[in-house]
């Protein structure tokens, strides 16, 4: 049976007095799936771990980590980079005045990071993202900049095979998939940002469906918009995903007698830009799935539903 999983990175939020982004968004395709599928809350952040793609994506793929995964090793795998024996890797983000900083001269910034953290090599990934590789703990300092460094963690164990393909941008989803042993397909126009080419991901997914058991499409736009404190942008991304991905992929999967699941990997608050460990709303529809649960994929409607492990 073919399975499609659409991961809405950081799409969930904590219900408050006002509507969440999922409540605000006009998502007729998701609503249709909820009408015919099973809508439940999922625990995508294992107990004791921090919320984020490095924990949420493996959990959605059926292999929740028992310990904190190394974001540095994940980013290195995404970049196709081998970390030398005895070395460790860290993800590093740049912030200026509390906002993500995209340096105009990434090569110069990488050199400054190396000087600030002797023994570490710095590699620019994209935008505000850098990878530090070295033998000791990095203690970088750049005048006027704040650095957020993800520390050590375990290496994910290969548990998947080539019958699972993950379609994504060159980022955490690609690294997680490669470390778990899945096949990765990165469309040339996939950026991982709000303006990523959703049609390119759709074409790649439809191309893979006839020959793969499981096709996973990861979209980072909702998370990126929340980190940029852009709630309207987050809603716009969710609406575009509904039209460009959920609608055609649901039609294709159900026509093949398969299933489709749509779920965030974690929540991200657009007010604070912080990740959330709360359970997330998910929907599963297709072969053998009976309709039950709320009629929309929104947080407050699943709050009273029974929690399940990811499917």
Cα 23 to chain center, whole Å?
A: 20
Residue 252 near residue 206, CB atoms below 8 Å: yes
Provide the b/e sequence for 51-65 (b: ≥16 CB within 10 Å): bbbbbbbbbbbebbb
pTM of this prediction?
A: 0.92
* Position 223 pLDDT exceeds 90: yes
The two tokens of residue 89 are: 């890797």
pLDDT tens digits, residue range 192-216? 888 889 999 999 999 999 999 999 9
* Position 105 pLDDT exceeds 90: yes
pLDDT tens digits, residue range 241-251? 999 999 999 99
User: pLDDT value at position 304?
Assistant: 64
Give percent of the chain above pLDDT 90.
78
pLDDT tens digits, residue range 138-168? 877 777 888 888 877 999 999 999 899 999 9
Strands (E), 156-227: 164-167, 183-185, 214-219
* Position 116 pLDDT exceeds 90: no
Strands (E), 65-213: 88-96, 99-100, 120-126, 129-134, 146-149, 164-167, 183-185
User: pLDDT value at position 309?
Assistant: 44
* Band of residue 44 on the pLDDT scale cut at 50, 70, 90: very high
User: pLDDT value at position 150?
Assistant: 81
User: pLDDT value at position 144?
Assistant: 81
User: pLDDT value at position 310?
Assistant: 46
Residue 145 near residue 94, CB atoms below 8 Å: yes
């Amino acid at each position: 049976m073919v399975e499609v999983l659409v991961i809405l990175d950081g799409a969930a939020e904590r219900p408050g007095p006002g509507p969440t982004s999922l409540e605000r968004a006009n998502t007729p395709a998701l609503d249709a799936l909820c009408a015919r599928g099973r809508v439940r809350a999922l625990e995508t952040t294992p107990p004791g771990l921090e919320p984020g793609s490095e924990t949420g994506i493996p959990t959605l793929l059926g292999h929740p980590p028992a310990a904190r995964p190394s974001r540095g090793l994940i980013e290195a795998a995404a970049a196709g980079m081998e970390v030398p024996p005895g070395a460790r890797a860290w993800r590093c983000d740049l912030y200026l005045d509390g906002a993500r900083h995209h340096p105009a001269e990434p090569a110069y910034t990488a050199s400054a990071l190396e000087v600030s953290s002797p023994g570490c090599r710095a590699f620019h990934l994209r935008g505000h993202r850098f990878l530090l590789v070295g033998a000791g703990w990095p203690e970088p300092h750049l005048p006027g900049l704040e650095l957020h460094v993800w520390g050590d963690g375990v290496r994910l164990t290969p548990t998947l095979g080539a019958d699972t393909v993950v379609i994504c941008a060159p980022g955490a989803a690609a690294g997680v998939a490669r470390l778990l042993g899945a096949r990765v397909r990165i469309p040339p126009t996939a950026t991982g940002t709000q303006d990523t080419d959703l049609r390119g991901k759709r074409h790649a997914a439809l191309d893979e469906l006839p020959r793969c058991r499981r096709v996973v499409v990861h979209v980072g736009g909702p998370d990126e918009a929340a980190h940029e404190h852009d709630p309207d942008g987050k809603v716009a991304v969710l609406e575009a995903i509904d039209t460009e991905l959920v609608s055609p992929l649901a039609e294709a999967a159900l026509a093949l007698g398969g299933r489709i699941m749509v779920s965030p990997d974690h929540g991200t608050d657009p007010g604070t830009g912080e990740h959330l460990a709360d359970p997330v709303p998910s929907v599963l529809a297709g072969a053998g799935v009976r309709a039950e649960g709320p009629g929309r994929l929104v947080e407050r409607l699943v709050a009273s539903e029974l929690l399940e492990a990811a499917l």
